Amino acid sequence: MESTEKKQDLETPKGDYGANNIQALEGLEAVRKRPGMYIGSTDTKGLHHLVWEVIDNSIDEHLAGHCTHIQTFINEDNSITVKDNGRGIPTGMHKKLQKSALEVVMTVLHAGGKFDKDTYKVSGGLHGVGVSCVNALSSLLTATVYRDGKIHEQAYSEGKPKEPVKQTGTTDVTGTTITFHPDAEIFETLVYKYDTLATRMKETAFLNSGLHLTLTDLRDLDEKGEPRFEEFYSEGGLLEFVTYLDESRTKLLDTPIHVSGKEENVEVEVAMSYNTSFKENLHSYVNNINTREGGTHVAGFRRAVNREFDKYAKDNGLFNKVKFKISGEDFREGLTAVISVKVPEPQFKGQTKGELGNSEVVGIVSRCVGEALKYFLEENPKLAKKIIDKVILAATARHAAHKAREMVQRKNVLTGSGLPGKLSDCTSKDPVDSEIFLVEGDSAGGTAKQGRDRMFQAILPLRGKILNVEKAMEHKIYENEEIKNMFTALGVSIEDKDGERVLNIEKLRYHKIVIMCDADIDGSHIVTLILTFFFRYMKPLIENGYIYIAAPPLYMVKKAKQFRYCWSEEERKEAVAAYSKGENDNSVKIQRYKGLGEMNAGQLWETTMDPDARILRQVTIPDAVEADRVFSMLMGDEVPPRRAFIEANAKYANVDV
Ligand code: 0RA
């Protein structure tokens, strides 16, 4: 940030907020000049970030004990309205700045008014930049405040007031309503996605039990003219969150273990459970913000889990027959946990500022969780035994997996280049320029090999359906031919580091990994299987933006010597209309491509592989909670949630006709 942020002492006693406590700190021009620095990006992610920024202020009101309902509306024109029943932004005169506090909150960066250390405000990361940032990036914003029996309003454009604050009426409620129109000059897209907002609100409801959040989409009306609407509310908070996360998994515990405590102004809340899967599934939050990269709170949690289970098992002789070392990871296989801490002055670090840095938090979380676990284990010897048996099973499986992995990785060294025989490699050895196509089936693989530019495009055909890694034991994965080929072709390996398994991508051979499958139901199933594998075993490749899905065309519309490829129904209709202008529609021919095999090498190149013409969809993980649930649901054991998910999403699927 261009100017430094200064904290100033509050003049009035704590808790008695008035107009004067809101400090003027920094101009808004900087925000419009470099929006990315404040909200991360100006793409769809940044667009949605605006909503969180406004809602976060309302949640602060909830945390302070003054707000129970937050209503969000996606208006018909893609503007957003957020309405809360908090105290309302103060509207009195700000002495130093000689204007209404409302105007100060809305037009001065970081003037949220909450610099009191006792409120849990985020001071780092991308959140907490303030509602004024949203204002700066909106072509129009209106704030309406219900407070002290009066209604006050002010409108702004690009963050500048259009008029002084004016009283528009009287009221017997309190709260704040903000409507904003994201600026088309700033954002690449202005279209809000219902699901993105809904998913995040669901999480927010779990993290703030007792808070009612609603989402209304006024763009989407049903036959009765009613807008799409959902309410998110959780009475049980994190306990319900863990149950929700494990909906598609087989449980070891009937009810999750719950921990809550407070030490040195740091609040700790954890809910954890065990299931029969082979993965740790951990989600962590600091002041309601998702910490994707973990940090000191996660370290403290892991430390406590390892220490308490290890001690309990040893004290009770449960490890007596185990012949190898139990590692930290073994205690956490099949563990699902949500860790939420509230830290007065959090320090964020890491690439995306998604990692908590405060070192004192390690000990605090470790003590809180340790104490609760010790108690749980002593009180529930049967469940404790169940979990320890699972830990021993995990350790046994890890040893088998380690051996299987070593076999694969050693064999590569012995066979020289070590590259799989099925790989048609590219000439370039620079990973930045190199692409690999993972192609469904040997025959499409052959066509792709003929059609490619061999300078920078490699082809690896995959035989039919690859292994469903969601259901398989880990050692089976390294014994699977297709998966082995992927590891060796990509040049990545799994290594043991400080007792954890980490993916080493230093020798990654391609920076574009393109999954290319048929455009039918089978093809999308194979894409899902491959993505599940990447998500569970090579997540850094997704996080670094290296994974793409190719989009072969669905139709070719042809008339005499003219032809056009089409990727959607709309494009097909357009092409047919263009070709049949004023003439008989019958000279126009439509070919539906179901498989890659229906195209020849030249067609495959010009539609799907040529960087100048193709459409590639980059795979991202916008929401870790949702991604985990969807993969476990689509690929896991439980049928009813899978059916519900497929039914709910059927209209988005590319149904084959
Ligand atoms: C400054 C001070 C106070 C509340 C707020 C801002 C506030 C901001 C927003 C944004 C959306 N909803 C909001 N609700 C409140 C404290 C007010 C007091 O002490 O009465």
Can you say whether the dihedral through the CA atoms of 565, 570, 574, 576 is positive or negative? positive
Give the distance (Å) from ligand 1 centre to CA of residue 260.
Answer: 28
Report the distance separating Cα 645 and Cα 650, nearest Å.
8
The angle subtended at Cα 606 by Cα 605 and Cα 608, nearest 5°, is 65
The angle subtended at Cα 338 by Cα 469 and Cα 55, nearest 5°, is 115
15-19, 49-53, 374-378, range with the lowest pLDDT: 15-19
Tokens of 487: 């590891």
Q: What are phi and psi of 332, to 5 degrees?
A: -120, 10
Tokens of 523: 């093809």
The angle subtended at Cα 640 by Cα 639 and Cα 641, nearest 5°, is 95
Residues 6+ apart with CB under 8 A from 363: 300
Q: Which amino acid is at 88?
A: G
Can you say whether the dihedral through the CA atoms of 43, 48, 49, 54 is positive or negative? positive
Is the model's pLDDT at 30 over the cut of 80? yes
Mutational pocket test of ligand 1: of 21, 176, 177, 213, the residue with most ligand atoms within 8 Å of the beta carbon: 176
Give the distance (Å) from ligand 1 centre to CA of residue 111.
Answer: 11
Report the distance separating Cα 289 and Cα 342, nearest Å.
10
Report the distance separating Cα 371 and Cα 257, nearest Å.
12
- Predicted pLDDT at 417: 59
Domain 417-552+618-626 has CATH 3.30.450.20: no
Give the distance (Å) from ligand 1 centre to CA of residue 86.
Answer: 7
| pLDDT tens track for 260-275 | 999 999 999 999 999 9
Assign 5 a pLDDT band (cuts: 50, 70, 90): very low
Is the model's pLDDT at 18 over the cut of 70? no
Closest to 634 (Cα-Cα) out of 525, 547, 543? 525
Q: Name the closest-CA residue to atom 2, ligand 1.
A: 113
Quote the crossing angle between the two packed helices 624-635 and 238-245, to the nearest 10°: 40
Is the model's pLDDT at 123 over the cut of 90? no
23-37, 73-87, 346-360, 363-377, range with the lowest pLDDT: 23-37
Reduced to 3 states (helix: H, G, I; strand: E, B; else coil), residue 295 is strand
Report the distance separating Cα 337 and Cα 301, nearest Å.
10
Report the distance separating Cα 437 and Cα 647, nearest Å.
31
- Predicted pLDDT at 188: 96
Assign 128 a pLDDT band (cuts: 50, 70, 90): low
Per the model's pLDDT, the better-predicted residue between 470 and 46 turns out to be 46
Mutational pocket test of ligand 1: of 12, 66, 87, the residue with most ligand atoms within 8 Å of the beta carbon: 87
Percent of the chain exceeding pLDDT 70 equals: 88
Per the model's pLDDT, the better-predicted residue between 64 and 68 turns out to be 68
Closest to 656 (Cα-Cα) out of 599, 592, 597, 606? 592
Give the distance (Å) from ligand 1 centre to CA of residue 69.
Answer: 14
**Long-range contacts (CB closer than 8 Å, 24 or more residues apart) made by 249-252:** 249/275, 249/276, 249/277, 249/336, 249/632, 249/636, 249/637, 249/638, 250/275, 250/276, 250/277, 250/637, 250/638, 251/275, 251/276, 252/276, 252/334, 252/383, 252/386, 252/387, 252/390
Task: Report DSSP state, residue 64.
Answer: T
CB-CB contact of 339 with 301 (8 Å): yes
| pLDDT tens track for 524-562 | 889 989 999 999 999 999 999 999 999 999 999 998 888
41-50, 119-128, 370-379, 390-399, range with the lowest pLDDT: 119-128
Report the distance separating Cα 420 and Cα 417, nearest Å.
9
Reduced to 3 states (helix: H, G, I; strand: E, B; else coil), residue 177 is strand
Q: Name the closest-CA residue to atom 8, ligand 1.
A: 89
Quote the crossing angle between the two packed helices 296-315 and 381-414, to the nearest 10°: 110
Per the model's pLDDT, the better-predicted residue between 616 and 474 turns out to be 616
For residue 629, list its beta bridge partners: none
Tokens 């089976």 belong to which residue?
476
Assign 126 a pLDDT band (cuts: 50, 70, 90): very low
Assign 108 a pLDDT band (cuts: 50, 70, 90): confident
Give the distance (Å) from ligand 1 centre to CA of residue 444.
Answer: 60
Which residue spans within 319-395 are E strands per DSSP? Answer: 335-342, 348-349, 355-356
Q: Name the closest-CA residue to atom 19, ligand 1.
A: 17
Residues with a catalytic annotation lie at 440, 518, 520, 522
CB-CB contact of 92 with 16 (8 Å): no
Is the model's pLDDT at 499 over the cut of 80? no
Q: Provide the CATH number for the domain formed by 238-395 in this structure.
A: 3.30.230.10
Mutational pocket test of ligand 1: of 80, 89, 177, the residue with most ligand atoms within 8 Å of the beta carbon: 89
Q: Which helix (H) or strand (E) holds 248?
A: none
| pLDDT tens track for 191-240 | 999 999 999 999 999 999 999 999 999 999 999 999 999 999 999 999 99
Atom index in ligand 1 nearest the CA of residue 113 equals: 1
Is the model's pLDDT at 244 over the cut of 90? yes
Chain centre distance of CA 9: 37
The angle subtended at Cα 99 by Cα 98 and Cα 100, nearest 5°, is 140
| pLDDT tens track for 642-657 | 777 666 665 443 333 2
Closest to 628 (Cα-Cα) out of 204, 245, 355, 205? 245
Per the model's pLDDT, the better-predicted residue between 550 and 128 turns out to be 550
Atom index in ligand 1 nearest the CA of residue 64 equals: 16
- Predicted pLDDT at 533: 94
CB-CB contact of 566 with 575 (8 Å): yes
Residues in the chain: 657
Quote the crossing angle between the two packed helices 624-635 and 521-537, to the nearest 10°: 120
Atom index in ligand 1 nearest the CA of residue 15 equals: 19
Count of Cβ atoms closer than 10 Å to residue 629 Cβ: 22
The angle subtended at Cα 591 by Cα 562 and Cα 458, nearest 5°, is 90
- Predicted pLDDT at 581: 73
Report the distance separating Cα 62 and Cα 68, nearest Å.
6
| DSSP output for 261-279 | EEETTEEEEEEEEEBSSSS
| pLDDT tens track for 418-466 | 789 999 999 999 999 999 999 998 899 999 999 999 999 999 999 877 8
Q: Find the Cα–Cα–Cα–Cα dihedral 451, 457, 463, 468, rounded to 10°.
A: -140
Q: Which amino acid is at 171?
A: T
In the structure, which protein residues have their CB atom closer than 6 angstroms to any atom of ligand 1?
17, 57-58, 61, 84, 86-87, 89-90, 105, 112-113, 131, 176
Report the distance separating Cα 337 and Cα 242, nearest Å.
6
Q: Name the closest-CA residue to atom 18, ligand 1.
A: 17
Q: Which amino acid is at 307?
A: R
Give the distance (Å) from ligand 1 centre to CA of residue 135.
Answer: 16
Q: Which amino acid is at 446?
A: G
Q: Name the closest-CA residue to atom 1, ligand 1.
A: 113
- Predicted pLDDT at 22: 44
Ramachandran quadrant class, 225 (left: phi over 0; alpha: psi -120 to 50; beta: rest): left
Assign 411 a pLDDT band (cuts: 50, 70, 90): low
- Predicted pLDDT at 289: 85
Mutational pocket test of ligand 1: of 60, 100, 147, 178, the residue with most ligand atoms within 8 Å of the beta carbon: 60
Q: What are phi and psi of 426, to 5 degrees?
A: -95, 170
Q: Which helix (H) or strand (E) holds 562?
A: strand 562-566
Q: Give the N- to C-terminal CA distance of the chain in Å, as an integer.
A: 53
Q: What is the mean pLDDT of the chain?
A: 87
CA atoms within 13 A on the CB side of 439: 29
Average pLDDT value for residue range 52-75: 94
Is the model's pLDDT at 54 over the cut of 70? yes
Atom index in ligand 1 nearest the CA of residue 58 equals: 12
Domain 29-192 has CATH 3.30.565.10: yes
Assign 497 a pLDDT band (cuts: 50, 70, 90): confident
